[in-house]
Amino acid sequence: MNKVKIKFPDGNSREFEKGITAFQIAQSISERFAKEVLVAKVDGSVIDLCGKINNDTEIRFLTFNDDEGKEVYWHSSSHLMAHAIKSVYPEAKFGVGPAIDNGFYYDFDIKTKLSEEDILKIENKMHELSKENKTFERVELSKPEAIDFFEKQSDEYKLEILSELDESSETISIYNEGGFTDLCTGPHLPSTGKIKYVKLLGVSGSYWRGDENKKQLQRIYGVSFPKKKMLDEHLQKLEEAKKRDHRKLGKELDIFLLSGNVGSGLPIWLPKGTILRETLENYLREEQRKRGYEPVITPHIGNINLYKTSGHYPYYSDSQFPPLILEEGKDEYLLKPMNCPHHFQIYASKPRSYKDLPIRYTEFGTVYRYEQSGELTGLTRVRSFAIDDSHIFVRQDQLLDEICDVIDLIKQVFAVIGFKDFTTILSFRDDNTEKYGGDIKLWEKAQAELKEAAKRMKLTYVVEEGEAAFYGPKIDFVVKDVIGRKWQLGTVQVDYVMPERFDLEYTGNDGQKHRPVVIHRAPFGSMERFIGILIEHFGGEFPLWLAPTQAVIIPVSQNFINYSEQIVKDLKDKNIRVELDDRNEKVGYKIRDWELKKIPYMLILGEKEELSENISVRQHRKGDLGSFALSDFIDKITIEIKNKDYTIN
């Protein structure tokens, strides 16, 4: 047979000469289409366009609009960047350079510490190389040939990767474009000329193989596009995102303060931020009350022995503030890094019956962790934070239902806020037994139960092994911040280990002592991180129920301050959070000011309003809504607050 039958995504098929390249097939569709095409997908795997087709198959052509097409585009861009680096710094040795969610990076080892100007030089070089439009050529080698090749270049990192490849199961391939060769499985773009608009975004250090004991290489991040408009839009999006950054908005809207005089990573809640936080806390308190939780309050420090029992100390001493030592070895305290040991003391303070369970203690408990200085960012990673914590003590037969109820609560919290873009991760143990406490059989049980609960609650989740806490597996709810960093918010953790360590028990209906299981859970995760993300989620335009200031009264002139004060009083009586702007300024000036502060409603009061005993309402972003009777306005916003509406009209 000299023909191959090719099936296309639209269901049609055609015959071609055997050995035809994917590119030629694309050309047969149209020259213009062939120009757009980057790679082809054949029988489920992505291949180079120069790949020959020798069997009957299905083919799909991928362009930059396909995720897999983008990935190849950015991967090839990273090769081109490496090429550019190599031509500016010939001694450069390369680590890895993959495509990532929004672009690509490459890790490499050179003596020069790169500056912004150096990056620009590399970027310009990339444009030059792209214009040469060299083809990417794939060459397959045996392992010894490949080792020989990279030894000649004394490319130690590539050799390390090679040494770990299994030659019997993997084809070793290298790609060459314009004299630059890299170890790579591909696939790649047909040629470098496809990479048209490149922006290198920054340089930083990164440990070889992600291991802090290994050498630190330099990493350049970049992004590239086939059209200028796409690059411009991307850069514009990055700029827009910066405006929503909670660190910027937190300052502008007087939500929180980070002061070096207090200490880094120790946020201070300003009056406006405190309203926001307490509103969220009260909402959760009310939900928890309905679900049978009991609030408790515990101290911020605890005897160090508590943490020796729990196993947190000394294994995590690196990430704790050092102990307060009153008498060496006898009287030492720790700023609490978590609330659980305190809550366990409450449980253990008297005998418990199986009839008492589940017991659900809850506390907005502030904990202190000595996070590495380089990790601190705004409110999302801090050294003191309040966990909306709860420890639920259950019997084995209650565990699954209880986990489901907790998931239900977390889902409800996220829905009320309007978080839709989150991922759920089942964090399980891996084979590294040293990292985890307790009996492996109990772990397997706990993991199975979490999985079962996730299924029952219809969560779409991924399993990540090795991400569990040392005392048990967990379900984490993860969201991204404005610059794409992922943060864990809500969490549910199943714990068979701590009850053992603290010797917790209850009397069963058989008269025997039994061990309860503990669920650690936090829907917000921490108030700090949650509100950090919340600020970015709303871009500072909080829904009415959360807005620290819900309405501002603006008298048209000083003559209407009396009337305004009367309206302020009426609104305050109805628990509306209202401010009076009695500054000696024009209306337009004040409106602009409060629009920038993103205040939901402004009430403009002048002669017209005073005579008719009405108010004029202006809504943030929407403008003038016209004249209302005060009582109608109060009714309207009371409903809006009660419903916790979050849609910005």
Partner RNA sequence: GCUGACGUAGCUCAGUCGGUAGAGCACAUCCUUGGUAAGGAUGAGGUCACCGGUUCAAUCCCGGUCGUCAGCUCCA
Alpha carbon distance 285, 465 (integer Å): 33
Name which position in 11, 210, 299, 329 contacts RNA (CB under 7 A).
Answer: 210
Instruction: Look at residues 603, 626, 629 and name the one whose alpha carbon lies nearest to residue 614.
Output: 629
596 binding RNA? (CB under 7 A): yes
DSSP H or E run through 145: helix 143-152
When asked if residue 205 is in the footprint of RNA (CB under 7 A), the reply is yes
The nearest distance, CB 482 to RNA, in angstroms, is: 9
| Interface with RNA (CB under 7 A), residue from 470, 478, 630, 640 | 470
464 bridge partner residues: 427
DSSP structure string for 495-552: ESHHHHHTT--EE-TTS-EEPPEEEEEESSS-HHHHHHHHHHHHTT---TTT-SS-EE
Nearer to RNA, 177 or 476 (CB): 476
Q: Write the binding mask 309 to 348 for RNA: x where contact by CB under 7 A, - elsewhere.
A: ---x---x-xxx----------------xx----------
For the bound state, the minimum distance from the C-beta of residue 263 to RNA, rounded and expressed in Å, comes to: 7
591 part of the interface to RNA, by CB under 7 A: yes
What separation in angstroms does the CA of 498 have from each of 310, 340, 517?
A: 6, 9, 9
b or e along 471-496 (b: 16 or more beta carbons within 10 Å of the residue's beta carbon)?
Answer: bbbbbbbbbebbeeeebbbbbbbbbb
Element (H, E) at 147: helix 143-152
Q: Considering the complex, what minimum distance in angstroms separates the CB of residue 165 from RNA?
A: 21
> Least Å distance between CB 595 and RNA?
4
Cis bond before residue 358 (omega within 30° of 0): yes
Q: Which is nearer to RNA, 198 or 602 (CB)?
A: 602
Instruction: Provide the mask over 607-626, with x wherever binding to RNA is found by CB under 7 A and - wherever it is not.
Output: xxx------x-x--x-xx--
Q: Which of 55, 154, 558, 643 binds RNA (CB under 7 A)?
A: 558
Among 79, 360, 369, 391, the residue binding RNA under the rule CB under 7 A is 369
- Closest to RNA by CB, 319 vs 507, is 319
Radius of gyration of the chain (CA): 31
Residue from 218, 362, 384, 447 binding RNA (CB under 7 A): 218
Angle of helix 143-152 versus helix 156-163 axis, rounded to 10: 160
User: Measured between alpha carbons, how far apart are the two ends of the chain, in Å?
Assistant: 64
Region 246-285 residues binding RNA, contact defined as CB under 7 A = 247, 251, 258, 260, 263-265
- Distance from C-alpha of 193 to C-alpha of 130, rounded to nearest angstrom: 5
Write down the least CB distance from residue 433 to RNA, Å: 15
Residue from the set 30, 216, 236, 282 that interacts with RNA by CB under 7 A: 216
**x/- contact string, 219-248, with RNA (CB under 7 A)?**
x-x-------------------------x-
**What number of other Cβ atoms are within 10 A of residue 567's Cβ?**
23
Q: Are strands 172-177 and 57-62 parallel, antiparallel or unpaired?
A: unpaired
Cβ proximity to RNA, 8 vs 316, nearer residue: 316
**What single string gives the DSSP state of each residue in 173-242?**
EEEEETTEEEE------SBGGG--EEEEEEEEEEEGGG-TTS-EEEEEEEEEESSHHHHHHHHHHHHHHH
Is 586 a binding residue for RNA by CB under 7 A? The answer is yes
Number of residues that bind RNA (CB under 7 A): 73
Cα-Cα-Cα-Cα dihedral sign, residues 610, 615, 621, 623: negative
Q: Considering beta carbons, is residue 177 or 481 the nearer one to RNA? A: 481
The structure tokens listed for 266 are 């120790």
Stretch that binds RNA, among 165-173, 284-292, 606-614, 634-642 (CB under 7 A): 606-614
C-beta of residue 645 within 8 angstroms of C-beta of residue 543 = yes
Q: Which of 152, 374, 421, 509 binds RNA (CB under 7 A)?
A: 374
Q: In this complex, which beta carbon is closest to RNA, that of residue 33 or of residue 589?
A: 589
In this chain, which stretch among 58-66, 108-116, 153-161, 401-409 interacts with RNA, using CB under 7 A? 108-116
The residue among 73 and 221 lying less far from RNA, judged by its C-beta, is: 221
Does position 202 bind RNA by CB under 7 A?
yes
Answer yes or no whether residue 595 interacts with RNA by CB under 7 A. Answer: yes
The answer to the question of residue 211 lying near RNA (CB under 7 A) is yes
Per CB under 7 A, the segment of 222-230, 437-445, 483-491, 572-580 that binds RNA is 483-491
CB atoms under 10 Å from CB of 244, counted, come to 18
Q: Which two tokens stand for residue 68?
A: 């897999």
- Binding segment for RNA (CB under 7 A), chosen from 49-57, 134-142, 164-172, 586-594, is 586-594
Residue 113 near RNA by CB under 7 A = yes
Our CB check for RNA shows the closer of 77 and 320 to be 320
Residues contacting 423, CB < 8 A, separation 6+: 461, 462, 477, 478, 479
